[in-house]
Amino acid sequence: MTNGGLGYFVDRVTLEFSTLKAEKDFSKGELVLDLSAAEVLAERDYTSIDLGDSNVYHPMGRYINHACNPTSYVDADRKAIVAVGTIKPGDEITFNYLASERQIVAPFDCACGWVHCVGRIEKRLAQPSESLHDMWASIRKRIKRNAA
């Protein structure tokens, strides 16, 4: 739980590139960003976050970048961004777009630098009906393939 501050801030790296970073500790499973009151968009765009049955816009959430090995994930049931593991102040808040976005509006080449980076981010790895567990299993499978 946060006590006071939001717990995160936008780091404007360049004019074109910003990231969202933690300014406090988050523990595994902790809610990082509440999306329950986020604006529901009529159509997805490159800033929206896919909650399974809707695409929402959050003024801070829009700065969350993709990472193949992310620090958080989209929990559609909780309508929130949730920590995958421990997040320390200064760590970037990321989620794997391929795990939850039903469609990648603006495909791009990932440069997260992770040894198992999947590279091109353009196609979702799982069907919407799959559980979060299955999505991660699917990602792990693809990561294994790329690493082979």
* Residues near Zn ion, by CB under 5 A: 68, 110, 112, 117
Shortest Cβ 70–Zn ion spacing (Å): 9
Q: How far is the CB of 24 from Zn ion (least distance, A)?
A: 26
Question: Measured from the CB atom, is 86 or 146 closer to Zn ion?
Answer: 146
Q: How far is the CB of 65 from Zn ion (least distance, A)?
A: 10
Residue whose CB is less far from Zn ion, 55 or 94: 94
Residue 113 zone, left/alpha/beta (φ > 0; ψ -120 to 50; rest): left
Among residues 40 and 105, whose Cβ is nearest to Zn ion?
A: 105
Q: Which residues pair with 124 in a beta bridge?
A: none
User: CA–CA separation, 68 vs 63, rounded Å?
Assistant: 16
Output the smallest distance, CB 118 to Zn ion, in A. 6
Residue number, 32 or 117, with CB nearest to Zn ion: 117
